Chain A
Amino acid sequence: EVQLVESGGGLVQPGGSLRLSCAASGFTLNNYQVIWVRQAPGKGLEWISYISSSGNTIHYADSVRGRFTVSRDHAINSVYLQMSSLRAEDTAVYYCVRDLDTLIQGLWEDAFDIWGQGTTVTVSS
């Protein structure tokens, strides 16, 4: 079965750190771009990060830039989100998402087709 599985969520105090992992089964994650999306309790979806398949191109939302770091380890087919200086407003379910580049009429288009089940991060004292 093709799927993504996040892990590493939990309860952390304000100012603390946490590292989320995203692993794939049924396909080679190394070949794909990945984004991270989060959802605060009762709220909508928020895109927070992108990493290219090579790991050489990275983007962040303003809300996490300077505090979160996305990376990947090709040796073990995984993507990570290192979160530091955590705040109460970072409390959310975090999803990793596969970005499937699809060629349509000569142009590469994004299709965010595989989502993990999500991992919950709670920042509280």
Chain B
Amino acid sequence: AIQMTQSPSSLSASVGDRVTITCRASQDIRNDLGWFQQKPGKAPKLLIYAASNLQGGVPSRFSGSGSGTDFSLTISSLQPEDSATYYCLQDYSYPFTFGQGTRLEIK
């Protein structure tokens, strides 16, 4: 199975900061990666699919990049409502695998 290593596991940042979360795959997954945001008690929400495509309705401050084994999710200007846990998911091969998650706290 492909391992997804996500970092950092948690971070704290201020409103307006630029924040980057990374995921590294244990093998080449092309661009078959999605990013999800999950708030407590809620279902995850798709932010980015195919590594860099912004899901409809998602604010443009979210962006994704990368291909092969290294990927990143960037929030260009952090907002209070961005406090959540973020996950990457590789859908290149079965079994699909998630990163461990990044808990983002607003200072």
Q: Is the interface of B mostly helix, strand, loop or mixed?
A: loop
Partner of B94, one of A44, A59, A115, A116: A59
Say yes or no: B89 contacts A112, CB within 8 Å.
Answer: yes
Q: Is the interface of A mostly helix, strand, loop or mixed?
A: strand
- Interface bits B9-33 vs A (CB < 8 Å: 1, else 0): 0000000000000000000000110
Residues of A within 8 A of B100 (CB): 44
Interface residues of A in 77-125 (CB under 8 A from B): 95, 102, 104, 109-113, 115-118
- Interface bits B74-95 vs A (CB < 8 Å: 1, else 0): 0000000000000101010011
Say yes or no: B95 contacts A59, CB within 8 Å.
Answer: yes
A45 at the interface (CB under 8 A from B): yes
Residues of B within 8 A of A109 (CB): 31-32, 49-50, 53
Residues of B within 8 A of A73 (CB): none
Say yes or no: B96 contacts A50, CB within 8 Å.
Answer: yes
Known: A102-B49, A110-B91. A115 touches B96 (CB 8 A): no
Q: In the complex, A37→B91 CA distance in Å?
A: 13
Residues of B within 8 A of A59 (CB): 94-95
Residues of B within 8 A of A118 (CB): 43
Q: In the complex, A116→B50 CA distance in Å?
A: 21
Q: In the complex, A47→B95 CA distance in Å?
A: 7
Residues of A within 8 A of B99 (CB): 44
A74 to chain B, nearest CB (A): 23
A118 to chain B, nearest CB (A): 6
